[in-house]
Amino acid sequence: MKPGLALLATTLLAGAPVWAAEATTVGAVQISQFGASALDQPAGQLIWRGGIALVSQHDDFGGLSGVTFTGPDQQVLFVSDRGQFVAGKLAYDDHDRLLGLLGVGVSPMANSKGVPLPRQYARDAESVETVYRDGIPAAVRVGFEHLTRVADFALADGVPGGPAREVAIPQWLSDNRTNETLESVCIAPSTSPVAGSTLLLTEAVMDEAGNHRAELLGQSDKGPLSLQPNPGRVPTDCAFLPNGDLLVLERGIAFIAFTMALRRIPAAQVRPGSIMAGEVILEASGGTIDNMESLAVHTAPDGETRILIGSDNNFNDWQRTLLLEFGLPE
């Protein structure tokens, strides 16, 4: 690692209290090595493009479990285990490598009445995805575990707020109320056979065959499907590639260290009744990674399609908040 720049955050949005965000300062340290891969070298079937480790003194900065892009100029949004939105913009250096997180604001999620979620059991947000209407980011869709549910929050200039609007989910999912239920929420792009459908993927709710249970929420593409397990790991997030293929991020523990895998599932496998399998395109373990839980696909400033993978430090001093970025070969 080499020292990066501690970047001063600014207030994200002024206005009505339901949109208010508390500004915070976030420091960033650039990461140049990923296992045996130096910058711009292959890492699995991807290309390592660099990363950052983030640090903040704000009590509610941490526990980042899901990430999505909500606007132009690398505007990004995280959700946390404590029911907080963390919004900002990714900054890049002159070589198009991650440099920091600018304009960071932290704000509490609200319930359907527009007031902050009342207790920790209801705050455990694990995933987030942007909802587009007519090509414009209009809302974010958040998945929660413990009190298992899905809710939409309106966006204003890329920043979420206001009351939650509950999204109907299957009864079997809402009946499961542990910290191993709904871990991943992602929305299929127009290139997918199930375009516009929301995929819900569980961490450890298994079907009779031992596969991770999943569900598609859509109009014509609606119903159950499943994910074939990867021994020793569980899914923690999902994201679609521009061509409609699905990426699933997985996490495990081996010899008191975290492991990580990224699986690519062909678009044709993402449909009701399917058992999704795919292939592992990236693996890592040990000090290279941490508790990797968030995943997003976006276009970098140089026009390259990149995969962003983030870690959840569980608000522990001995864990790190990492953002690692990989290029997708043409």
Q: What is the pLDDT of residues 102-121, one digit of tens each?
A: 999 999 999 999 999 988 89
Mean pLDDT of the chain: 92
Distance CA 28, CA 93 (A): 12
Print burial letters for 189-200: b (CB count within 10 Å at least 16), e (below 16). Answer: beebebebbbbb
Please give the model's pTM, rounded to 2 decimal places: 0.93
Q: How confident is the model at residue 143 (pLDDT cuts 50, 70, 90)?
A: very high
Whole-number Cα distances in Å, 118 to 82, 213, 223, 290: 11, 29, 32, 30
Question: Would you tell me how many other CB atoms lie within 10 Å of the CB of residue 242?
Answer: 12
DSSP letters of 78-119?
Answer: EEETTSEEEEEEEEE-TTS-EEEEEEEEEEE-B-TTSSB--S
The mean per-residue pLDDT over the stretch 86-104 comes to 97
pLDDT at res. 201? 98
Which residue reads 């492991």 in tokens?
259
Q: How confident is the model at residue 15 (pLDDT cuts 50, 70, 90)?
A: very low
Instruction: Let me know: does 131 contact 143? Beta carbons within 8 Å.
Output: no
Q: What is the pLDDT of residues 18-54, one digit of tens each?
A: 457 899 999 999 999 999 999 999 999 999 999 999 9
Kindly tell me if the per-residue pLDDT of 228 is higher than 70: yes
| In the chain, % of residues over pLDDT 90 | 89
CA-nearest of 63, 78, 59, 61 to 314 is: 63
pLDDT at res. 87? 97
Q: What is the pLDDT of residues 178-194, one digit of tens each?
A: 999 999 999 999 999 99
Question: Would you tell me how many other CB atoms lie within 10 Å of the CB of residue 272?
Answer: 16
Which residue reads 């890049």 in tokens?
92
Please state the φ and ψ torsions of residue 286, each to the nearest 5 degrees: 75, -150
pLDDT at res. 12? 31
Q: What is the pLDDT of residues 265-323, one digit of tens each?
A: 999 999 999 999 999 999 999 999 999 999 999 999 999 999 999 999 999 999 999 99
CA-nearest of 122, 206, 120 to 166 is: 122
Distance CA 116, CA 119 (A): 9
pLDDT at res. 1? 35
Kindly tell me if the per-residue pLDDT of 16 is higher than 50: no
Q: Which residues pair with 212 in a beta bridge?
A: 206, 227
pLDDT at res. 186? 98
Kindly state the tokens that stand for 41. 């070298």
pLDDT at res. 19? 52
The mean per-residue pLDDT over the stretch 122-132 comes to 97
pLDDT at res. 11? 30
Instruction: Let me know: does 230 contact 276? Beta carbons within 8 Å.
Output: no
Kindly tell me if the per-residue pLDDT of 10 is higher than 50: no
Domains and CATH numbers, the chain: 6-327 (2.120.10)
Please state the φ and ψ torsions of residue 171, each to the nearest 5 degrees: -60, -35
DSSP letters of 17-86?
Answer: GGG--EE--EEEEEE--BTTBPTTSEETTEEEEEEEEEE---TT---EEEEEEEETTTEEEEEETTSEEE
Q: Which residues pair with 187 in a beta bridge?
A: 198
Distance CA 102, CA 6 (A): 10
The mean per-residue pLDDT over the stretch 81-105 comes to 97
Amino acid identity for residue 67 in this structure: V
Print burial letters for 283-301: b (CB count within 10 Å at least 16), e (below 16). Answer: bbbeebbbbbbbbbbbebe
∠ Cα 282 286 291 (to 5°): 75
DSSP letters of 105-167?
Answer: EEEE-B-TTSSB--SHHHH-EEEEEEEEETTEEEEEEEEETTTTEEEEEEEETTEEEEEEEEE
The mean per-residue pLDDT over the stretch 161-180 comes to 95
Instruction: Let me know: does 4 contact 30? Beta carbons within 8 Å.
Output: yes
